[in-house]
Structure 1
Amino acid sequence: MNKRMIFYILGKMMGVEGIVLLIPAFVSLLYQEKSGFSFLIVSAVLILIYFVLGRKEPKSKRIYSKEGFAIVGLAWLLWSAFGALPFVISGSIPHYIDAFFETVSGFTTTGSTILTEIEILPKGIAFWRSFTHWIGGMGVLVFVMMITSLDDDNAMPLMRAEVPGPEADKLVPKARRTAKILYGMYFALTAVETVFLMAGGMSFFDALLHAFSTAGTGGFSNKNASVGFFDSAYIDGVITVFMILFGINFNLYFLFLLKEWKTALKNEELWVYLGIIGASMAAITGNILHIYGNIFRAFRYASFQVASVITTTGFCTADYDRWPELSKMILMSLMFVGACASSTGGGIKVSRLIILWKSVRQEVRKILHPNAVTVIRVNGRKIGQDTLRNVNIYLACYVLILVVSTLLVSIDNFDFATSFSGVLTTLSNVGPGISQVGPVMNFHKFSVLSKLVFCFDMLAGRLEIFPYLLLFSPDLWRRRF
C-alpha cells in the first residue's frame, strides 16, 4: 500500500476543494452576504492542508487498484466533511451531522434533505448546495483529474473506482483527456439547459441552480416546492428531457460527436432505458388520469416524476405519495433500476439488469440443453466471467446493505414504508421516497444514528459499494508498499 501517494493525492484534492469554495464565496460577495466568510475560512484551511500534504511528490508515485479504491472512498468522505463546514459556520445548518447529511446528499447527487425552509438560505449557501450536485455528478475524482496534472498511469485506477457501471472505459487512450472530454460534454449540456430554462421565465440564478441539479441528477432546488413552484408546462418539459439526457451513458454522446451514429443507436442499454421510461410513463398516465381529468396534464406530471425517479434526480412537481398504489409501486421499482452506466444517475443501473436478465436466461437454457455452449453478449461484446461475478456480488451487497440499513433505521420506529423507502432512496441516490420521506417531506425527524446510516448508504450507492467495503477491510491497510 503506497500510503504516501494516497496522502499526496488527497492533499491535492483538498487544495482543489479549497479553490472551488472560492466560487460560492464570490456569489456571496456578489449578493453582499456575510455567509461568504464561511467559505473563505474553510478554503484557507483546505489550502493549508494542500501545502502540508499535496506539494511534494513521493519518490514512489505508482498506485494500483487498492490505492485507487482507498483514495476514492476517503476523498468523498473528506470533501463532504469539509464541504459541510460552510453550512455550520454560516448558521444555515447549525448542527454538523445535519450539515454533513446535506453535503453528502449533494456530492452523491442524492437530493435528500433535512431542510424545511429552503428559500431562506443565503444565495451563496444555496449556490454551494446545488453546485455540489454538479461536481459530484460526473465525479469528484474525475473533476480533479481534469484540472490537475495527475499522470495517466495513476488516473485510470481512480476513474475505474469512481465511474458508475459494471465497467469503466476510456474514451481516448489518455485517462486525463477522457476526463476533459466528459466534463466538456457535461458543461455544454448544462449550459444549454440553463438557456432553455431562462427562455421559460426563470431568472439566471434559478436556471443555473436547477441546471446544476439536473446535470448531476441530484434534485436540490432553491424552492420549497421544488420545480412545482414554477407551475410551468414548458419548464417541466425542459427539465424532463434533460433529466433523461443526463441519465444516458456519456460514451454514447462521444460516439455522436465522432458521427458514429449506427454504433450509438445500436446500444442495448439505451433502448431498454428508453423503453422502461416510455412504458412507465404510459402506465402511470393511465393510472392517474382520473385525478387530473385531462390526458395532457396526467402525462405532464407522470412523465416528469418517471424521469425524475429513474434518473435518480429527485425533483418533483406533484405529491406522488397521494397517487394510486400502482403508480407508487412503479416509481418504487424505478428507484431500483436507476439510469445507464457511465451517466450521472444512480441506482443499480440498466446495464446490470440487462446482464442479470441474460444470465438468468442462460441458466434456463443450460438446464434445458446441458451440452449447449452459451455466451452472454451485450452490444455484441462478450461479457466475461469477471464482469458476471462482479454484477452478482454487487447485487448481493446491495440487497444486504438495504436490509441491514432498514433494520438500523427502524430503531427510530417510523412506519415500514418510511424506513424502507428512506434507505432505498438514499442507497439508490434518488432523494425523496414515500410516506414521511415523500416528495413534500424530508429527513429532519430522523435520529443521528439514522442520518449517519443514510450518509453511508448515499456514499456507498454513489461509489457502488466496493470502495467503502474495502475501507473497512484490515487487509487493505496491513500491507506496506
Structure 2
Amino acid sequence: MNLPMVLRSLGILLICEALLMVPSLAVSIIYEGYDVFPFVYTIALLGATGSAGLSIKPKKKNIYPRDGFAIVAFGWILISFFGSLPFIFSGVIPSFVDAFFETSSGFTTTGASILTSVEGLPEGIMFWRSFTHWVGGMGVLVLTLAILPLVGANTVQIMKAESPGPNPGKLVPKVRQTAKILYIIYFVVTIVEIILLLFGGMSFLDACIHAFGTVGTGGFSNKNLSVGAYNSVYIEVVISVFMIICGANFTLYYQALKDGIKSIFKDEEFRLYIGVVTASILLITFNIHGTIYKSIWESLRHSSFQVASIITTTGYASTNFDLWPTFSKIILFMLMFIGGCAGSTAGAIKNIRILMLFKIMKRELLKIIHPRAVYVLKFGGKVVDDDTLSEVLVYFFMYMMIFAAAVLIISLEGKDFATTVSSIAATLGNIGPGFGMVGPIGNFSEMTNISKLVLSMCMIIGRIEIYPILLMLFPSFWKKVNI
C-alpha cells in the first residue's frame, strides 16, 4: 500500500471539505446566526489537518486498488467526523454520537435524523445539514477529483472504489474530465430545480435545501412535516420528477446530449427502473383509493410521490405512509431494497443488479431444461463475463448478510418488528424514514448510542457499496506486498 499517497489524498479531501463548508458559513453570517464561529473553528481544524496531510511528499504517486479502497473508507469516516463538528460546537447536537449519526446520514444521502424539531435550527446549520446531501450525492471523492486533482495519480481507482458497481467506467479517457462532466450535469439539474421551486412559492433558502435533498436523493427538509408541510401539488410534482431523474444513471444524460433522448430508453436498466416505478404507483394508488383517500387523484398524488421518494432512496414524505394498508407498505419496503440505477445518487442494491439476478435465475432454469446448451448472458447488447456475474451474486449475498446481522444487533433494543427491520433497510439502503418509530413522522432519537453507531456504519457501508469497509477488516489487506 502506498501509505504516503493515501494520507496525502485524505489531506486533499479534508481541504476540499473545508472549502465546501464556506457557503454554510456565508449563510450563517447573512442570517447573523450563533453558528458563525462553530463553522470558523471547524474550517480552521479542517485546514490545519488537511495541510498536514498535503505536506506529505510521496516518492510514488501511483494509487493502486487497495489504496483507492483505503482512501474511500477512511475518507467517508473522516468527512463525517469533521462534518459533525459544527453541530457539536454550536450546541445544536451536543452528543458526538448523535452529531456523527446526523452527519453520516447527510453525506450518505440517507436523510435519517435524530432531531425531533428542525424548524428552530440556525440557517447556517440547516444549510450545511442539507448541503451534505448534495456533496455526498455524486460522491465526495469524485468531487475532489473534479476540483483538486491528484497530480500523477491513477485516480480511476478512487472512482471505482467509491462506486464499485458492476459497470464502472469513464465517459472520456481522463478521469478528472469524467468527474467534471458528471458534476456539470449535476449542477445544472440542481439549478433548474431551485428555479422551479422558487416559482412554487418557496423562499430561496427553502428551495436550495429541498433541491439539495432531491438531487442528492437525501431527504433532509427544514420543515418538521417534510414536503407535506407545503401542501402544494406543484411542489410535490416538481420534487417527484427530479427524484426520478436523479435516481437514473447520470451518464445517460450525457449520452442523450450526444445521441438524442431516445438513447436513454435503449438502456435496459432504465427501462426496468421506469417499469418498477410505474407498476408500484398504480398498485399503491388502487390499494389506498377508497380506504385512505376518497379521490383517485389524491391517491395518485401521494402514491407517486412516495414511490419516487422510496425507490430513489430520497426519503421525503408528503403524508404519513405508515398508516397505509399492509399491501402498500410491503411494496414500499421492497422498493427500499431495489433502489435507483447504477451511476445515480440513489442507494440500495440498484436496478442493474436486480436485472442481472433475474437474468442469472433465468439462465440457471434453462440449464436444467437443456443441460448441454450454452447460454450467454447479455446486458445492453454486450456479453457479461462470469467475473461480473459472480460479483453481483457476492454483493447481493453480502448485502443481505449485513442486513441480517444489523437487524440482530438492533433487535437487542426490544423495539417492535417494523421499527427494527425497517430501520436497517432504511439506513443500509440510504432511504431515511422507515416504519413504526422511525416512520415519516418519527425519527431515530430514541435509539441507544450503540444502535446509532451501528446504523451510522450501515449508512456508510451502504453508500460506498460494502467493499471498502469490509476490506479494512481483513489482515491481509494491510500486509505489505511488492508492487
Q: How does the TM-score come out when normalised to structure 2?
A: 0.98
Q: Which residue of 1 aligns with 2:474?
A: 473
Q: Which residue of 1 aligns with 2:196?
A: 196
Distance 1:295 1:151 in 2: 58
1:169 is the counterpart of 2:169: yes
1:324 is the counterpart of 2:356: no
Partner SS for 2:165: coil
Partner SS for 1:159: helix
Q: How does 1:27-46 map to 2 (within 5 A)?
A: 27-46=27-46
Q: Which residue of 1 aligns with 2:243?
A: 243
Q: Is the 8 A contact 2:62 2:152 kept in 1?
A: no
Distance 1:263 1:241 in 2: 19
Q: Which residue of 1 aligns with 2:259?
A: 259
Q: Which residue of 2 aligns with 1:380?
A: 381
Q: Which residue of 2 aligns with 1:298?
A: 299
Deviation at 1:265, TM superposition (A): 2.1
Q: Which residue of 1 aligns with 2:363?
A: 362
Deviation at 1:164, TM superposition (A): 5.5
Partner AA of 2:415 in structure 1: F
- Superposition RMSD in Å: 1.0
Q: Structure 1 residues 432 and 205 mapped into 2: Cα distance closer, same or farther (>3 Å)?
A: same
Q: Which residue of 1 aligns with 2:309?
A: 308
Distance 2:50 2:92 in 1: 27
Q: Is the 8 A contact 1:240 1:303 kept in 2?
A: yes
Which segment drifts farther, 439-448 or 56-65? Answer: 56-65
Distance 1:292 1:277 in 2: 20
Which segment drifts farther, 395-404 or 161-170? Answer: 161-170
1:398 is the counterpart of 2:399: yes
Deviation at 1:438, TM superposition (A): 0.6
Deviation at 1:152, TM superposition (A): 6.8
Q: Which residue of 2 aligns with 1:7?
A: 7
Q: Which residue of 2 aligns with 1:122?
A: 122
Deviation at 1:149, TM superposition (A): 2.0
Partner SS for 2:26: helix
Partner AA of 1:71 in structure 2: I
Distance 2:133 2:257 in 1: 25
Q: Which residue of 1 aligns with 2:421?
A: 420
Distance 1:452 1:423 in 2: 12
Distance 1:151 1:386 in 2: 31
Q: Which residue of 1 aligns with 2:215?
A: 215
1:447 is the counterpart of 2:448: yes
Partner AA of 1:160 in structure 2: K
Q: How does 1:108-147 map to 2 (within 5 A)?
A: 108-147=108-147
Deviation at 1:55, TM superposition (A): 3.2
Partner AA of 1:297 in structure 2: E
Partner AA of 1:170 in structure 2: K
Partner SS for 1:119: coil
Distance 1:473 1:36 in 2: 42
- Please list the CA deviations of residues 61-107 of structure 1 after superposition, one character each: whole Å capped at 9, or x if unmatched: 11111110110000000000000010000001110100000000000
Deviation at 1:163, TM superposition (A): 2.1
Q: How does 1:17-56 map to 2 (within 5 A)?
A: 17-56=17-56
Deviation at 1:17, TM superposition (A): 1.0
Deviation at 1:57, TM superposition (A): 3.1
Partner AA of 2:207 in structure 1: A
Q: Which residue of 2 aligns with 1:463?
A: 464
Distance 2:327 2:168 in 1: 36
Q: Is the 8 A contact 1:134 1:212 kept in 2?
A: yes
Q: Which residue of 2 aligns with 1:224?
A: 224
Deviation at 1:373, TM superposition (A): 1.0
Partner AA of 2:285 in structure 1: T
Distance 2:152 2:208 in 1: 32
Distance 2:189 2:164 in 1: 19
Partner SS for 1:258: helix
- 5+ residue gaps, structure 2, are none
Distance 2:473 2:30 in 1: 43
- 5+ residue gaps, structure 1, are none
Q: Is the 8 A contact 1:11 1:50 kept in 2?
A: yes
Q: Is the 8 A contact 1:335 1:428 kept in 2?
A: yes
Distance 2:152 2:131 in 1: 27
Q: How does the TM-score come out when normalised to structure 1?
A: 0.99
Q: How does 1:87-98 map to 2 (within 5 A)?
A: 87-98=87-98
Deviation at 1:153, TM superposition (A): 4.6
Q: Is the 8 A contact 2:227 2:317 kept in 1?
A: yes
Which segment drifts farther, 215-224 or 252-261? Answer: 252-261
Distance 1:418 1:166 in 2: 32
Q: Is the 8 A contact 1:2 1:480 kept in 2?
A: no
Q: Which residue of 1 aligns with 2:149?
A: 149
Deviation at 1:48, TM superposition (A): 0.8
Deviation at 1:260, TM superposition (A): 4.2
Distance 1:402 1:168 in 2: 24
Q: How does 1:262-273 map to 2 (within 5 A)?
A: 262-273=262-273
| Pairs aligned (count) | 481
Distance 1:152 1:324 in 2: 57
Deviation at 1:170, TM superposition (A): 0.3
Partner SS for 1:292: coil
